Structure 1
Amino acid sequence: MRNVKLLWGIIVILTGVGLVLFRIAITQPPASVPDASGTSGEESRVVGRIGDKVITSEMVRQKVYSKYGLDVLNQMIDHLAIQLEADDRGLRVDSKEIQSELERMQQGYGSEEEFYKSMKEQVGMTKEELQEDVYFKLLVEKAATADIVVGENEISDYIKENPDEFADTEQLHLQFILNETLEQANRTYELATQGNDFSTLARERSLDINTASEGGDLGWVEENDPFVSPNILKAAKELQIGQIGQPVQAETGYAVVKLIDRKDDRKSNPEAIRESVRKQLALQKAPPIKEYTQELRKKWQAALVDVDHEFGPSPSPAAAGQ
C-alpha cells in the first residue's frame, strides 16, 4: 500500500534530509556576482531576484549551514563514535548484510529501480547515501547487542507463539478506483471492462487521494495487509492477473480492483528465521539505540567545539546529539 511504500521515505526524511541539504550547501561552488559598483565580486552568484532585491548562492549556503550544520555535526560525531566502538570490538558489516537490509526496505515497491527513484525524488538521497545510512544502522545494532545473549529456547518459544509472523504469504500488485456510491462504481467497472485505460480512469474518477494521481496503484501488498480493506484483498485474491473485479464495498465507499501481478513471499528458511528472531530479541534487551549512542559519545570523549560561534546558540546539553 502507498502508506507502507512511503514509510521508509518518512524515516529517511527525519534522519537524513538535513545532511542532504547541508551537502548541497557546502559543495555548491561559489561564482561571482556584480557588486554595488557594477564590477564582478567573488562572493557568489545571483540565484534569485524579487523587485530590486537579489538572493545569492552564498546567502542560501549560509542559511542551510546555520540551520542544519549542528545536526550534521552531531550525526558525524555519532557515526565516528559507532565506528570507533565497532573497531575496538572487531565488529564489521559486510556488503551482503547491507544488501539484505536494502532488499527488506524495498518491500512494497515494484522493483529496486522504483525504490531508489522514489528515495531520490522524495528525499534527494542517492543509492550510495542510503547504503551509508544502512551501514551505520546495522553497525550500531551489532555494537549494542554484542554482549547480549539470547537463548535457543527463547527463540523457539517466540517462533511458536507468533506463527503468523513466519507463515508464507502471497503478495498482490493492485490498482483500485474508489467511488462514493455503488452506482458510480458500477459505471467505473463498465468503463474499465470496455477497454478504457484503468490508470486514466483512476486519475479521473478515484476519490483516494493517496493513489489517484498514480493511476490507482497500491503497489505490492500482502494478502493480509492490515492497511487495505479486507473486501478489496478478498476480491483481488479471486482474480486472474490482468482481470478487473466487480465493485466491492470498502470502508469509505465502493472499490473497483485490478490485479496486476502476484507472487509468493516465502519465509520458510528456518536458519534465517532464527537469526532474525535472535536479533529482534537482542535489540529488545539492549538499551535504546539513541541512549546507547550517547554512551558511546561519552566513552570516546566526544565534544562540540565553538559551536556557538559557528552555528549560533547551541541547544541544551540534553538536546545535543539528538
Structure 2
Amino acid sequence: MRNAKLLWGIIVILTAACLVLTRVAMTETRAPGRDSAASKGEESRVVARIGDKTITSEMVRQKVYSKYGMEMLNQMLDHLAIQLEADDRGLRVEEKEIASELTRMQQGYGSEEEFYQSMKEQVGMTREELHEDVYFKLLVEKAATADIVVGENEISDYIKQHPEEFANTEQFHLQYILNETLEQANRTYELARSGNDFSTLAKERSLDVNTASEGGDLGWIEENDPFVSPGILKAAKDMEIGAVSQPVQTDGGYAIVKLIERKEDKKGDPEAIRETVRKQLALQKAPPIKDFTEQLRDKWKATLVDTDQEFGTPGTAAASSAPSGGQ
C-alpha cells in the first residue's frame, strides 16, 4: 500500500539522517596517536572541484556538524541513557522481538526484500541501521512501562470494545486500468478477456498516470484500505486469482481490475494479541517517550561539554531529542 510506505518513510527519515551523521563522525574522528601531519592532510583532502574552487573533507565535516551535530549528539546521549537504564533494571530486547517488529513494519510491502530495498532507496537505511533503530525503540518502551501494571480485565475489555483491530484481514495484489467512460471500460474488458496482456493494456489505455507505466500495478492493498475505491475492494474480494473484473465505477471513472495474488493477514494467536494489548495500554499510561528519555538523561547526569567549539553552540545541556522510533 503506497500510503503505508509513505508514512513509514516519514517516520524513519530523521533517524536515517542521524545515522548518516554518526558514520560521518566516526570517519572523521582522529585515532589516538595519529600523526598530526597526516591528520591535516586528511582534513585538506579535496572531495570536489568546480571551476577554480575546491571543497575539502574538512569543509564538508564542518558544514554537517554545525547544522546537524547537536541532533546527532542528542540521539547518542538518548541511546546511552536508555541503555544505562535498561542495564540497571535488567531489561533486554530479544532478537525475536526485533524480528516481530520488523515484520509488522513490512505490512503494505510485497515482500521483505521490497521493504528493505525501499528503506535503502528512500531514506538510506540499511538492514543493520533499521535493526538498531528498532532495538532502541523497543528498549525504551520496556523501560518506560517497567513499573506500570495493566490488569487482565483491562485487556479483555479493550479486546471486546475493539474487535475490528484483531480480526484477520485479507490483502490483495492488484492491477487496474482506469477509463473515463463506461464504453471505454467495456472495450478494455473485452480486450483483456480476449487474451491481450493486461500490463500492456494498462500502459496504452489507463488514465492513471501514476500506475500506467507500471502496468497498472497497485501493489498489495488491504481489504479495508480507505484510500482505495470500495467498488475495487469488493470486486477483488469476490474474484479468483488471475481473473479480470467487469467495469467498476469509481470517483475517477471506470476501472477494470485484475487480481494477481491474495493473502490473509493474521493478527496472531490469543496470547500474542493479549500481550500486544498489554503493551499498548501500558504505553498509554506511561509518560510520552520523549519526556521519559529526558528524565533518563537527568537521572544519568548527561552533560554537554565544550559543544560551542565543535558545533558552534553554547556548551549547555540542550533539550533531548526523542529516541529513534519513539512516540
Aligned to 1:238: 238
Aligned to 1:160: 160
Q: Do the aligned partners of 1:116 and 1:127 also contact (CA within 8 Å) in 2?
A: yes
One-letter amino acid matched to 1:304: L
Percent of aligned positions that are identical: 78
One-letter amino acid matched to 1:240: E
One-letter amino acid matched to 1:111: S
Which sections of structure 2, spanning at least 5 residues, go unmatched?
A: 31-40, 323-327
Question: Quick one: structure 1 residues 46 and 268, their matched pair in 2 at CA, closer, same or farther if it must change by over 3 Å?
Answer: closer
After TM superposition, the score normalised by the length of structure 1 is: 0.87
One-letter amino acid matched to 1:290: K
How far apart in 2 are the matches of 1:212 and 1:66?
44
Q: Do the aligned partners of 1:19 and 1:68 also contact (CA within 8 Å) in 2?
A: no
After TM superposition, the score normalised by the length of structure 2 is: 0.86
Question: Residue 64 of structure 1: SS of its match in structure 2?
Answer: helix
Question: Quick one: structure 1 residues 137 and 209, their matched pair in 2 at CA, closer, same or farther if it must change by over 3 Å?
Answer: farther
Displacement of 1:302 in angstroms is 0.6
How far apart in 2 are the matches of 1:305 and 1:203?
60
Aligned to 1:7: 7
Q: Between Structure 1 and Structure 2, how many residues are aligned?
A: 313
How far apart in 2 are the matches of 1:240 and 1:52?
65
Q: Do the aligned partners of 1:45 and 1:57 also contact (CA within 8 Å) in 2?
A: yes
Displacement of 1:188 in angstroms is 4.1
Question: Residue 80 of structure 1: SS of its match in structure 2?
Answer: helix
Aligned to 1:273: 273
One-letter amino acid matched to 1:170: E
Question: Quick one: structure 1 residues 70 and 215, their matched pair in 2 at CA, closer, same or farther if it must change by over 3 Å?
Answer: farther
Deviations 1:123-150 (A, max 9, x none): 1111011000000000000000111111
Q: Do the aligned partners of 2:304 and 2:317 also contact (CA within 8 Å) in 1?
A: no
Displacement of 1:183 in angstroms is 4.2
Deviations 1:237-270 (A, max 9, x none): 1221122222212233332222110112223511
Displacement of 1:122 in angstroms is 0.8
Query: Is the aligned partner of 1:119 residue 2:119?
Result: yes
Displacement of 1:55 in angstroms is 3.0
Q: Do the aligned partners of 2:174 and 2:260 also contact (CA within 8 Å) in 1?
A: yes
Displacement of 1:308 in angstroms is 1.8
How far apart in 1 are the matches of 2:251 and 2:176?
14
Aligned to 2:38: none
Point out the more displaced range, 41-50 or 130-139.
41-50
How far apart in 1 are the matches of 2:193 and 2:48?
51
How far apart in 2 are the matches of 1:151 and 1:145?
14
| Larger relative contact order (CA 8 Å, sep ≥ 6) | 2
Q: Do the aligned partners of 1:25 and 1:60 also contact (CA within 8 Å) in 2?
A: no
Deviations 1:161-181 (A, max 9, x none): 111111122121122233444
